[in-house]
Amino acid sequence: MLRPLIAAATYRRAVFLLLGAVLALPYTVGLGFVVQAVVTDPDHWPSNLPVDLAAAALALVPPFLGGTRELEIAATRALLHVDLPEPVRGRRLERETRLRSALWFGLHLCAGVAIGVLALIVVPFGMLALAGGEALGTAFSWWWLPAGPVILAGALYAVAGLGTLAATMAPVLLGPSTAEQERHLADRERRLAERNRLARELHDAVGHALTAMTLQAGAARAVFDTDPAFARTALAAIEEAGRSAAGELDTVLGILRDEAAGRETAPTLAALDRLLHEHVTAEIDEAGTMDLPPRVSREAYRIVQESLTNAARHGAGPVTLRIRQDGDLMIEVTNPRAATPSGRPGGGHGIAGMRDRVRLLGGTLEAGPDGAVWRVVARLPGSPG
């Protein structure tokens, strides 16, 4: 029961409510002048009604301004400790947001006036009565003596209650609208999708290059003394793979730094020869003339790249790659399964990444063992929606 009387939050909320009284001061003064004019001059309104209406219209403007909303949000965050999002500047406020902000502003002013009258008039008047009962009346002084502490406690409880109510209502009246929340969620989803896409690009590009370089280095080391020509070929493949991976890594990092707007992070099927050069055991059975959108061609390249990487890491023997287009693009990669997979142990994210790529294009993917071989079959729409 005594906690609201000594809690620091109560006095912060009192400052917030008194800020409403300060903001209400111009309205109070203006209303006082109008009331005084009407009382002293009964014929005031017929002749001055347009002026009063214009002043009232001007008084209604501040609650609907974006700057007023920003001021209220800043005060609410600092004094009520309510976690409100920063207002987005440069974007026109929606009608619903303006109406909610105006309602909050009006309630803030009303609560501020009530607390201001209680804190700045009733309580000080009672204190003066205690200090100088003769000047204000002995009867009042004796009335205030027992009632004073109760009124002070009541004032603090009122501040605590109104402050708690304000903290509860602030997210409703000052928070983002439904449309703004939907935009925020859409932006967050877009950022997550972009982050996942870049993660897939890094995994496929750099992971593929590292696997190829590791295998080529191991082969070169094994035959370095007996077959120098093959070792030199393997070293050249390592150099090419490293150069390609460095270029793709630079592109992805440039996008992360917003320095590569419009640049693509993956090659297309037009660069398939370079990819197959690193997998010299691959065989190609390609039929038809491919006419693909750039996005489909890029994703198809990555699917082939990841399939060949998995084949080199976990398979044994030659890899067969078949690509054909008959409306949809069909990709099939098969390789013998190794009894003891080479490369690093454990699973990765390659197949999951391929499934994500295919799903985003509206296609299908099948990947798994088929007897003694491992088979990957992907179908990509020729014209994705």
How far apart CA 346 and CA 206 sit, in angstroms, is: 18
User: Residue 336 forms beta bridges with which residues?
Assistant: 373
Q: Residue ranges of the domains in the chain?
A: 3-176, 183-380
pLDDT of residue 130: 54
How many residues are recorded in the chain? 385
Kindly state the average pLDDT of the residues 169-184: 84
| Helix locations, 41-137, DSSP H | 44-59, 66-75, 95-117, 123-131, 133-136
The pTM assigned to this predicted structure is 0.50
Which of 167, 173, 168 is CA-nearest to residue 12? 167
Total Cβ atoms within 10 A of residue 159: 26
- Range from 56-60, 81-85, 142-146, 307-311 carrying the lowest mean pLDDT: 142-146
How far apart CA 342 and CA 339 sit, in angstroms, is: 9
Q: What's the pLDDT tens digit per position in 110-133? A: 998 888 887 777 666 665 555 555
- Range from 15-24, 129-138, 233-242 carrying the lowest mean pLDDT: 129-138
Looking at per-residue pLDDT, the higher value among 323 and 212 belongs to 323
Percentage of the chain exceeding pLDDT 70: 77
Kindly state the average pLDDT of the residues 333-347: 64
Q: What's the pLDDT tens digit per position in 290-299? A: 678 888 888 8
Considering only the top CATH level, what class is 183-380? alpha beta
